[in-house]
Amino acid sequence: MSESIINYRSKHCTQPRVLCIIRCLKELNVNFNKLGRLPDNIGFGLRNLEKLSVNSNLLAFFPSSLTHLSSLKKLDARLNKLRSLPEDVGNLIHLEVLNVSQNFQCLEVLPYSIGMLVSLVELDVSYNKIKTLPDSIGCLRRLKKLAVDGNPLVSPPALVVEQGVHAVKEYLNRGGQKCPSRKKSSWVRKLVKYRSLRATARILLHTPTTRAARDSKYLILTPSMP
């Protein structure tokens, strides 16, 4: 299986004109473009995607289908204009690293379902406008690294944050709360909308399909050089 890197260059790119469906795609990199949005059906086409890098763009929201990227392990969305994360972000049960830092003071609240990210090891929400961390973060047993610098945090207080991630989790879980449980998503209806995964995938990408492209594991979308 080929491990070639497919490059995409666009001088004035506001939405990626993606190439072709690549079922085996492991990594998608669209850093340093001018993306204002991602394709609405991205989560239905890239079932094997493990790493998604969208940093340094203009994203304000993620499409709801993002939470169907069932293999995703790393999401890098720093340096955007994110105002919120999907309410069901907790469906990304294999996610190990989440970076939504430096979103130009736009991100104010984290969804409660973030406490359902059972595989999460690193969480970076630094330099946003977050005042309160959801108590559910106290349920993230595997969390080893938590970055919250540059936020006007009230809860947990700075004294607790300075003591490290273990102290933060203890503080948030101080009431002996019951950790959130996953509910089965009604995603079948969404698939019907796109008729099938195969058909959906073809919507995502527009250039002719080649065997090399289908077998490629990595796709990097980069801005054009001046």
* 108-162: pLDDT as tens digits: 999 999 999 999 999 999 999 999 999 999 999 999 999 999 999 999 999 999 9
List CB contacts of 70: < 8 A, sequence separation 6 or more. 47, 91, 92, 93, 94
154 phi, psi to nearest 5 deg:
-110, -40
Residue extents of the structural domains in the chain? 5-177+193-223
3-state class of 150 per DSSP? coil
Question: Dihedral sign, CA of 162, 98, 74, 17?
Answer: negative
Q: Give the mean model confidence (pLDDT) for residues 86-100.
A: 97
Per-residue pLDDT reduced to its tens digit, 22-50: 667 899 999 999 999 999 989 988 889 99
CATH code for residues 5-177+193-223: 3.80.10.10
3-state class of 71 per DSSP? coil
Supply the pLDDT for residue 151. Answer: 96
Rounded CA separation 99/31 (Å): 13
Model confidence, pTM: 0.75
